[in-house]
A and B are shown apart, each in its own frame.
Chain A
């Protein structure tokens, strides 16, 4: 069974620090990778997409992809209390219409 693994957390960081969230996947033919943020009681919101090896930056967010090691990570710089949420990693496999989601990592940013 193809899986996406995330540490459930919570990951606690102080305000202003860098939060590092990691995700590993088992299917080598995975092509597209996404990070979602889900606040408690709300629906998931797409924050980053990454399709090729390396880093992709968008504001305070950086997604990193290493297909050889089968992991994707999300760095949040200058973490804010408003970043406190569960972060879901999702992976798309070639030829499939669905995404495989990890169970999410809870991030807590303390003031």
Chain B
């Protein structure tokens, strides 16, 4: 069966520090991969998605970036974090278009 791993579970970072969040999927090949952010009490905001290695689509211009160095690995990065980057970051995968997405456990990021 397929599983998704996302780490760390919580992270506290100072303003201006870099960020790297990693997500890996097991048990499937060539999945669609997604990064979302959810602010407290708010809906899901799609940040990036990827339909293949090296293919990244950005939904929201900001100081974050994403990369997909391997088929089942998706990385979210920032060179300098802002206070507004705080939130609950979720990675998700799906088999293909029109199929449901399955979420990882998320990373709760606090910026001080």
**Known contacts A101-B43, A102-B43: A43-B98 contact under CB 8 Å:** no
**Known contacts A43-B90, A43-B106: A99-B43 contact under CB 8 Å:** no
Question: Which residue of chain A lies nearest to B50 when distances are taken between CB atoms in the complex?
Answer: A97
B42 near A98: Cβ-Cβ < 8 Å: no
B44 near A101: Cβ-Cβ < 8 Å: yes
B97 near A92: Cβ-Cβ < 8 Å: yes
**Known contacts A97-B49, A102-B43: A46-B100 contact under CB 8 Å:** yes
Residues 74-101 of chain B: 1 if any A CB is under 8 Å from the residue's CB, otherwise 0? 0000000000000000100000011111
Q: Considering the chains assembled together, what is the distance between the CA atoms of A92 and B90 in angstroms?
A: 19
Task: Report the interface size for chain B: residues with CB under 8 A from the other chain.
Answer: 21
Q: Interface residues, chain A, CB within 8 Å of chain B?
A: 31-32, 34, 42-46, 49, 88, 90, 92, 94-99, 101-104
A97 near B97: Cβ-Cβ < 8 Å: yes
A43 near B104: Cβ-Cβ < 8 Å: yes
Residue of A90, A92, A99 with most chain B CB atoms under a 10 A cut-off: A99
Q: Interface residues, chain B, CB within 8 Å of chain A?
A: 32, 34, 42-44, 46, 49, 51, 57, 59, 90, 97-106
Question: Which residue of chain B lies nearest to A31 when distances are taken between CB atoms in the complex?
Answer: B98
Q: Considering the chains assembled together, what is the distance between the CA atoms of A101 and B36 in angstroms?
A: 11
Q: Considering the chains assembled together, what is the distance between the CA atoms of A93 and B101 in angstroms?
A: 14
Task: Name the B residues within 8 Å of A102 (CB-CB).
Answer: 43
B34 near A98: Cβ-Cβ < 8 Å: yes
**Known contacts A95-B97, A97-B51, A98-B49: A103-B103 contact under CB 8 Å:** no
Can you name 29 A-B residue pairings with CB atoms under 8 Å? A32-B98, A32-B99, A32-B100, A34-B100, A42-B105, A43-B105, A44-B44, A45-B103, A46-B101, A46-B102, A49-B100, A88-B44, A90-B100, A92-B97, A92-B98, A92-B99, A94-B98, A95-B97, A96-B97, A97-B57, A97-B97, A98-B49, A99-B100, A99-B101, A101-B43, A101-B44, A102-B43, A103-B42, A104-B43
